[in-house]
Structure 1
Amino acid sequence: MTRTSNLQSPALESSASGWLNGFIGVLIFSGSLPATRVAVLEFEPLFLTVVRASLAGLLALCLLLLFKERRPSPAQLLPLGVVALGVVLGFPLLTALALQYVTSAHSIVFLGLLPLATAVFGVLRGGERPRPVFWLFSLLGSLLVVGYALSQGLTASPRGDALMLLAVLVCGLGYAEGAKLSRTLGGWQVICWALVLSLPIMAALTLFSASPDFNGISLPAWFSLGYVSLFSMLIGFVFWYRGLAQGGIAAVGQLQLLQPFFGLALAAGLLHEQVSLGMLGVTLAVILCVAGAKRWAR
């Protein structure tokens, strides 16, 4: 019994560290959509996307050089490209575009699908065989989100809702691919290398899309740009990928279920956006569906 306990102790410690790191990452990510909402009111979506990636990429390059990290192997370049397309370019750009049409509180409801998307891509990449009940909960959660969009009048913002759904899909793919890669490359190294690989293109697009005059940009918009560049694009992923690597995609990924609640609180508290009881109810129902789906994932 003593020997078994000693063998399990490192695994338990790693799991506890994974939950802690994952929780910190979720807290950081929860401010992303409200901050993007503030920034996109004064910055063009394309410029906001590429400049945040460029700033984070420069910092990531400094970190890799400072710690003299080994370069990724040729076999790791393609997965890094998937991570870059998913979380460096895809999710930031799609959400910035979506937030031109919907509020951050509205968009946060769609984040209830993010754990499900991560789980599905984790299943596809890991070769797991979930039970049929898993797919029942998955379908129910998706129907709840679509039903909510319809009840709000889909004709009012069909583009915003479609962009948010695409953002969730590409982000889930980037999370799952990055979590798998972090087991061999390292947690913070994954996002840093993905940012560095994207840096030449992002820097060029930053110069191309930059406005000739930034005098009219308010201080909150600059702070929001700084937040999504430093915290959402880099620091959050340092904790998040490390947590996924330590505790596993299926387990630590459940912490994403808290993100809509944190995000709605920020949207209401900082942006004074209206959060209806219906919006809270749908968010809670989606979270319950995702929790049920993950319960039967294996």
Structure 2
Amino acid sequence: MPTQSTASRSHPWRGMALGFLGVVIFALTLPMTRLAVGSVDAPAMSGMFVAMGRAVVAALLSAAFLVATRAPLPRRADWPALVVTCAGVVFGFPLLTSIAMRYVEAVHASVLVGVLPLATAAAGAWLHKQRPSTGFWACATLGTLLVLGYVLQRNGGTRIHPADLLLLAAMAAAAVGYAYGARLSHHMRADHVICWALVIALPLTAPLAWTSRPEVALPAPAWWAFAYVAVFSMWLGFFAWYRGLAEGGTVRVSQVQLLQPFLSMLFAVPLLHETLDTATLAFALAVIATVAIGKSMPVRTAPLQEPA
């Protein structure tokens, strides 16, 4: 069987194609979540049900996949990292975004999520005790300030809406979950990492989904959107993304993620009839440019000094 590095050299274009497919799948997550939860004026499913329900569906699919692929049980030493991964990508990011998306448009949320690649890189550097360059931290700071400036500009320059705080917290949760998941994928199959994270969460996600289930009839588009975030955003998207990284190389393929905010905006316009104004597009371009520069900055492998 070829190693990951061999696969990367042998199939670079297929890796890029799979990586792009993963990004397209993830780019639809915010618009589909908005469609599932509805708006303040026309609410649909609760954020709790969308987040927990989609995790339950993906966990059942994951259990079947783990059995079919004869996945070994995680090592005892892997359980703490699996729990952190689960907290970030199964509970934190889905729940916080699902609650927030009832109060903000998908176009708006896409700008905030645009700095997720830098947040993930920062979390990974902290986890592996690496030392990012001054330029990296300057870009991370500038990206954060741009996001905060956009939020203040959208809210009249006086306050930050609680939904924006939820989105920022979701970004932090995802960054930590991605970093720990990536660490586990060094010695576990990447698709097994997300599957195990979903399965171990099932004793919590199942009762939470059941108690928050809709008790009134909802329009079909809300259910189709829920099905999408359950099967694609929470499960198949990770398969395409992680396989793309393996076959095309992490450094090369990860750059495709810079397209995600723009794709989310483009999907939101026809799906939700949202508008893309000049100010939002300008902030998005500035954030993504900052992220692109920051991802090119060096990260030293020397460990950080432990505090006295």
Instruction: Give TM-score scaled by structure 2 length.
Output: 0.88
Provide the residue aligned with 2:9 in structure 1.
12
Residue matched to 2:280: 279
Partner of 2:257: 256
**Equivalent residue for 1:180, pick from 176, 180, 183:** 183
Deviation at 1:191, TM superposition (A): 0.7
Kindly report which structure 2 residues correspond to 1:79-98, keeping only aligned pairs within 5 A, or say none: 79-98=81-100
Q: Are 1:204 and 2:204 matched, yes or no?
A: no
Gap change, CA 1:135 and 1:14, over 3 Å in 2: farther
Tell me if structure 2 keeps the 8 A contact 1:188–1:239.
Answer: no
Q: Residue 187 of structure 2 aligns to a residue in which SS?
A: helix
Q: State the AA in 2 paired with 1:191.
A: I
Partner of 1:27: 24
- The equivalent of 2:302 in structure 1 is none
The correspondence of residues 100-115 of structure 1 with structure 2, limited to 5 A, is 100-115=102-117
Q: Would the aligned equivalents of 2:25 and 2:237 in 1 still touch at CA under 8 Å?
A: yes
SS in 1 for 2:275: coil
For 2:254 and 2:131, locate their aligned partners in 1 and report how far apart those are by CA, in whole Å.
18
1:191 correspondence with 2:188: no
Pick which of 149-158 and 67-76 moved more.
149-158
Q: Give structure 2 stretches of 5+ with no counterpart.
A: 39-43, 300-308
Query: Greater CA deviation, 247-256 or 62-71?
Result: 247-256
Gaps of 5+ in 1: 1-7
User: What are the equivalent positions in structure 2 for 1:39-78 lying under 5 Å apart?
Assistant: 39-41=36-38, 42-78=44-80
SS in 2 for 1:183: coil
Instruction: For 2:290, give the aligned amino acid.
Output: C
> Is the contact made by 2:152 and 2:159 (CA closer than 8 Å) also made in structure 1?
no
Matches within 5 A, 1:106-185: 106-153=108-155, 158-185=161-188
Over aligned residues, Cα RMSD in angstroms?
1.9
What's 1:4 paired with? none
SS of residue paired to 2:186: helix
Shift of 1:219: 0.6
Q: Which stretch has the larger CA shift, 118-127 or 100-109? A: 118-127
The alignment of Structure 1 onto Structure 2 pairs a total of residues equal to 289
Deviation, structure 1 residue 243: 3.2
Would the alpha carbon gap of residues 254 and 35 (structure 1) be closer, same or farther in structure 2, given more than 3 Å must change?
Answer: same
Contact 1:37 1:99 in 2 (8 A): yes
Cα deviations across residues 236-293 of structure 1 (Å, max 9, x unaligned)?
A: 0112233345556554333221100100000012111011111011111101101111
Deviation at 1:128, TM superposition (A): 2.6
Query: 1-side partners of 2:13 and 2:167: how far apart?
Result: 32
Contact residue 145 and residue 286 of structure 1 kept, 8 A: yes
Q: Does 1:269 align with 2:270?
A: yes
Letter in 1 for 2:83: G
Q: For 1:46-95, what per-residue CA distance to the aligned partner results, in whole angstroms no more than 9, with x for missing partners?
A: 11111110011011101111222111111111111111111111111100
How far apart are 1:19 and its partner, in Å? Answer: 3.2
The amino acid across from 2:88 in the alignment is G
Q: How does the TM-score come out when normalised to structure 1?
A: 0.91
Is the CA contact 1:83–1:194 (under 8 Å) kept in the aligned structure 2?
A: yes
Residues 51, 289 of structure 1: alpha-carbon distance in 2 compared, 3 angstrom cutoff: same
**Alignment partner, residue 41 of structure 2:** none
SS at match of 2:218: coil
- Is the alpha carbon distance of 1:209 and 1:103 closer, same or farther for their aligned partners in structure 2, counting shifts above 3 Å? same
Q: Is the 8 A contact 2:139 2:294 kept in 1?
A: yes
Amino acid at match of 1:94: L
Q: What is the aligned partner in structure 1 of residue 305 from structure 2?
A: none
Aligned-pair identity in percent equals: 42
Paired AA for residue 124 in structure 2: G
Deviations 1:176-216 (A, max 9, x none): 211221121101111111110011111111222223x34x2
Give the distance between the partners of 2:182 and 2:53, measured in 1 at CA. 25
Residues 168 and 250 from structure 1, CA distance in 2 versus in 1: closer, same or farther, beyond 3 angstroms?
farther
Contact 1:38 1:224 in 2 (8 A): yes
Q: State the alpha-carbon separation in 1 of the partners of residues 52 and 119 from structure 2.
A: 24
Separation (CA, whole Å) in 2 of partners of 1:156 and 1:47: 29
| Alignment-mate amino acid for residue 23 of structure 2 | V
